[in-house]
Amino acid sequence: MPKPPVRGADAADPFAPLAVRSAATVDAVDPYALGPVRKVYLIWLSGASCEGCTVAATGGTHPRLEKLVMGAIPGLPRVELVHSLVSVESGSAWVENLRLAERGELDAPYLITWEGSVLDERLAGDGFWHAVGEDEATARPITSREWLERLAPGAAAVVAIGTCASWGGIPAAAGNPTGAAGVGDVLGPDWVSSAGVPLVRIPGCAPLGDNYTETVAALLLHLNGLAPLPELDASGRPTWLFAETVHSNCPRARYYDEGVFAAEQGQATCLVELGCWGPVVQCNIAERGVIDGHGGCMSMGGICIGCTMPGFPDRYSPFVDGPPQPRAAEPAVERSAGGFARHMRLVRGRHARRRARAADATAEWRPGPGATPRFYRDGLPATPGPAGGHERPRG
């Protein structure tokens, strides 16, 4: 079956390349628009992945991906999303978007989001690990890694979403035959985009969708000249998202401080002795939740397995056999000191409640000038007391 032509495609064709249709669209003049950039292309490429990062990004709520695509957020340019999941075109028409970007023929800047590990095609023998489209002249399959190397020099920013794209992740675990690696291993440690933005990493397996959409929004504000470059740590992660550990905001952290540790799954206390890596792993899932503030590993009774960290999964395996030996004494110390702290908190709590009851029993409520206070207890109004005061109901 002959392939449909894409060069000179009709912009009125709903299945033409998105870049062709978008370039022919005349946006209405917005008198309230901020910044010089009105539109950007977000090209989503993938390697060895489970597509969990795509699921996470489409579930983001602060901001929603739909809001970015609609251009509904003040100060942010409208995002034209070139993603095989949501694109109406397919095959050669979809790949033409990548060719237009490579030739510099897009009518707006473009960003790249890469999902999954980058595979070493030199190890694929006579075949290939992962390809997207083919060379127009020779019909040679073009690998996804080659597209990354072709498009990265012209990109305004490159975002590695997920641990596989950030560090190599599960496909790069010991014994893998593909030479899987992170985006940074391909682009190099000193790589910066055409707009001066270093590689941005949003790790997680899967990452939080809000972490991705919020970071993209921050990058767009910067590219539009309305905000500084988002602050990144030494690993390229947004510092405001990954500066603290899971333990810092864990709903079970107080049990750790009190030395109360779960002995088996299903208990509501600290999970460190069951293998939780929360005290050392940098991730904001305990604070932010998975979708719209809800969920999260510890909130749902699961341990932290370190999925946002470099070296995952090898350095954090096996997941359920408890913490490594250097930390084995830590819970014992916490149990001793934490037990005393827990006891003192209970004592202080009982003392505070006794004082509150004693003060409550002798309280006399007196109105100020012109005031008519009413005291309610158990739904009953107060009764007038002597000298214009108010007493609580008796009995």
The tens digit of pLDDT for each residue in 351-368 reads: 655 665 555 555 444 445
Amino acid at the residue 114: W
- Are 142 and 134 contacting, i.e. CB atoms less than 8 angstroms apart? yes
Instruction: Identify the band that residue 11 occupies on the pLDDT scale cut at 50, 70 and 90.
Output: confident
Torsion over CA: 292, 297, 299, 300 (sign): positive
Amino acid at the residue 35: G
Please state, in angstroms and as integers, the Cα–Cα distance from residue 62 to each residue in 166, 209, 355, following that order: 22, 9, 44
Please state, in angstroms and as integers, the Cα–Cα distance from residue 215 to each residue in 108, 201, 230, following that order: 20, 10, 8
Tokens at 246, concatenated:
């899971």
Rounded CA separation 219/14 (Å): 30
The tens digit of pLDDT for each residue in 117-156 reads: 999 999 999 999 999 999 988 999 999 999 999 999 999 9
| CATH code that applies to domain 244-362 | 4.10.480.10
Strand pairing class (131-134; 110-115):
unpaired
**Lowest-confidence segment of 48-57, 296-305, 382-391 by average pLDDT:** 382-391
The tens digit of pLDDT for each residue in 253-308 reads: 999 888 899 999 889 999 998 989 999 999 999 999 998 888 889 888 899 999 99
Pick the CATH number of 18-242 from 3.40.50.2300, 3.40.50.700, 1.10.1500.10, 3.40.50.2020: 3.40.50.700
Tokens at 208, concatenated:
């939080």
pTM for this entry:
0.81
Strand pairing class (158-161; 200-202):
parallel
Q: Which of 321, 225, 226, 222 is nearest to 275 (CA)?
A: 321
Two domains, one topology: 18-242 and 244-362: no
pLDDT value for 379:
46
Residues 85, 87, 92: CA angle, nearest 5 degrees? 105
- Asked whether the predicted pLDDT for residue 104 surpasses 70, the reply is yes
Rounded CA separation 301/383 (Å): 49
Mean pLDDT for the chain?
A: 84
pLDDT value for 372:
47
Higher pLDDT, 330 or 312: 312
Rounded CA separation 283/244 (Å): 7
Tokens at 265, concatenated:
């799954």
The tens digit of pLDDT for each residue in 220-252 reads: 999 999 999 999 999 999 999 999 999 999 999
Residue ranges of domains in the chain: 18-242, 244-362, 365-395
pLDDT value for 395:
44
Place of tokens 């969990």: 52
- Are 249 and 286 contacting, i.e. CB atoms less than 8 angstroms apart? yes
